[in-house]
Amino acid sequence: MKPFISIFLLFLIGLAGVTSAQTTLKAGDKAPGFISKDQNGKTVSLKQFKGKKVVLYFYPKDNSSGCTAQACSLRDNISELKKQGYTILGVSTDDEASHRGFIEKHALPFSLIADTDKSIHKKYGVWTEKERNGVKAFSTTRTTFVITKSGFISKVITEIDTKNHAGQILSLKR
């Protein structure tokens, strides 16, 4: 019986370092609060957007092809997104300077949040372990959370069409 207990304890200790493969947050859940810095070093918190609909989108890397397509889709449709009452916030693990350069290069009309310590990613369950060519590593799972004026998640989009991401959001029932 003792070997079984030892194996079980080792299993539990191993679980402490495991991150879920995908967010467990779903529509109806309270959106986790956060405080971080935007591209200009200004403090941003979810709390300051109470009373506004927020599109909180997590993306892997500034200036990569898919992330650029996604950001430009949002940029190109910003008027319609704003007309429907949305505030757009992007989040990646890149730092403030990288975000500033990304915004300037692509004329992005919304804030990007620096999550270099990955704390927001972890709260939202999008910092996940993936395997590529037999190598396991943690990275961002591209995910968008649509958050209501009262701070609840109304939609989680996990199948992101980077070139038409704004269309995915605009097609949601209000």
- CB contact set of 137 (below 8 Å; sequence gap of 6+): 129, 130
Token pair 């992005």 in the structure block, residue: 108
Kindly name the residue from 44, 46, 54, 67 that is annotated as catalytic: 67
Strand bridging mode 143-147 / 53-58: antiparallel
Residue 72 appears among annotated catalytic residues:
no
Rounded Cα gap, residues 156 and 142, in angstroms? 11
Tell me the two tokens of residue 157.
Answer: 């989009």
3-class state of residue 147 by DSSP: strand
| 128-135, Cβ contacts within 8 angstroms, sequence gap of 24 or more | 128/19, 128/20, 128/21, 128/22, 129/18, 129/19, 129/21
| Positions marked catalytic | 67
